[in-house]
Amino acid sequence: MTRRALLDSATARLQAAGVEGARRTAEWIVEDVTGAGRLALTARDAEATPAEAARVDRLVARRAAGEPVQYVLGHADFYGLHLEVSPAVLIPRPETEAVVEEALRRLRPFEAPWVLDVGTGSGAVALAVAHERPDAHVVAADVSAEALAVAAGNAERLGLAVTFVCADALRPAFADAVPPTFDLVVSNPPYVPAAERAGLQVEVRDWEPGGALFVPDADPLVFYRALAGHADRLLRPGGWLVAETHADFGADIAALWGGAGLEAAEVLPDLAGRDRIAVARRPAHS
């Protein structure tokens, strides 16, 4: 079978399964398996080996069954970094790159800054900061040992120095588990209310780790409340707190942080104009 025929067959199977963007997904899978570039896949006489065809068949079957293509392939790209991912971690999303941009902007005045990433998952945010600011001391925390294993593997493979800590940000003792103090604390915490679960895409709802996605309807701001509670111990005076948010709760988070004694609390929009990034600062003379 030629690579082109393999691509066409994979596309047809994914279309029949109702996979959105079936052709591009098929290209990703065949490119990944064969190592061929996108243009090379359309060459009429380029042959696929039986082993390649068999592997494509297995991966297409997994995607057709609903598994996200990033888990199928075992990797995702984020902020120019090639990260390994598994169902133990959320798939890094382009929207979170804006959080990295804002974190880096807040870090500009600091030399050799100390940075804490809370709920690191795959390590995407921590590793992006470490890559862009090689002078930074980056610590990444998560409650999931399985997620930390993925993140540590990414750090080792990329040659980036990040310290990983297994700790629960919802517990008062969290601040004791990480070294004090930081110029910036950044987080992409769970923020999807449990009531929204049924309306999510199947790939998200059924495959990504619920503990990294959902919060109880009774207190959808629970993680933002915890971050504010830790701020006095985690942040140096003048240090910044930056977190990704649910668009519906942006104003509430800014009010919560302002009421907790943080200053310059605001919520910034993403490219679509939806509230995306909450920021606040520990007062410089607190």
Q: How far apart are the first and last CA of the chain?
A: 69
Binding site listing for substrate: 188-191
pLDDT band at 44 (very low <50, low <70, confident <90, very high): low
Considering the chain, what is the average pLDDT of its residues? Answer: 95
Q: Where are the beta strands (DSSP E) in 133-191?
A: 137-142, 162-166, 182-187
Domain extent for 213: 84-281
Same domain, 201 and 230: yes
Q: How many CB atoms lie within 10 A of CB 279?
A: 23
- My answer on whether 49 and 151 are in the same domain is no
Binding site residues, as ranges? 119-123, 142, 188-191
Both tokens assigned to 110: 């600091």
Report how far residue 284's alpha carbon sits from residue 128's, in angstroms, rounded to the nearest whole number: 27
Is 118 in the same domain as 222? yes
As for how many domains the chain has, the answer is: 2
Q: Can you tell me the distance from the alpha carbon of 34 to that of 25, in angstroms, rounded to the nearest whole number?
A: 14
Return the CATH number at 179.
Answer: 3.40.50.150
Question: Among residues 165, 170, 164, 188, which one has the least CA distance to residue 90?
Answer: 188
Same domain, yes or no: 57 and 95: no
In a shared domain, residues 218 and 117: yes
Same domain for 105 and 245, yes or no, is yes
pLDDT at residue 217, rounded to an integer: 86
118 pLDDT band (50/70/90 cuts)? very high
- Is 169 a domain residue? yes
Helix (H) / strand (E) element for 256: namely helix 250-259
Q: 210 in a domain, yes or no?
A: yes
What is the pTM assigned to this prediction? 0.94
Write down the pLDDT at residue 43.
Answer: 67
Distance separating alpha carbons of residues 282 and 262, to the nearest angstrom: 5
Quick one: CA torsion of 200, 202, 207, 209, rounded to 10 degrees? 10
Could you tell me if 56 and 112 lie in one domain? no
pLDDT of residue 37: 78
Question: Same domain for 55 and 88?
Answer: no
123: exposed, middle or buried (Cβ count in 10 Å: 0-12, 13-18, 19+): buried
- Beta-carbon count within 10 A of 126 CB: 31
**228 & 113 share domain:** yes
Please name the amino acid found at residue 32: D
Residue at which a domain ends, from 65, 97, 116: 65
pLDDT one-digit tens code per residue, 212-253? 999 988 899 999 999 999 999 999 999 999 999 999 999 999
76 within domain boundaries:
no
Identify whether 75 is part of a domain. no
DSSP 258-279: HHTT-EEEEEEE-TTSSEEEEE
Q: Which 8-state DSSP code applies to residue 50? A: H
Whether residue 230 is found in the same domain as residue 94:
yes
Last-in-domain residue among 35, 65, 95:
65
Query: With pLDDT > 90 as the criterion, what percentage of the chain qualifies?
Result: 89
CA distance 286 to 270: 31
Residues 61 and 88 occupy one common structural domain: no
Annotated binding-site members for S-adenosyl-L-methionine: 119-123, 142, 188
Q: How far apart, in whole angstroms, are the C-alpha atoms of residue 96 and residue 190?
A: 13
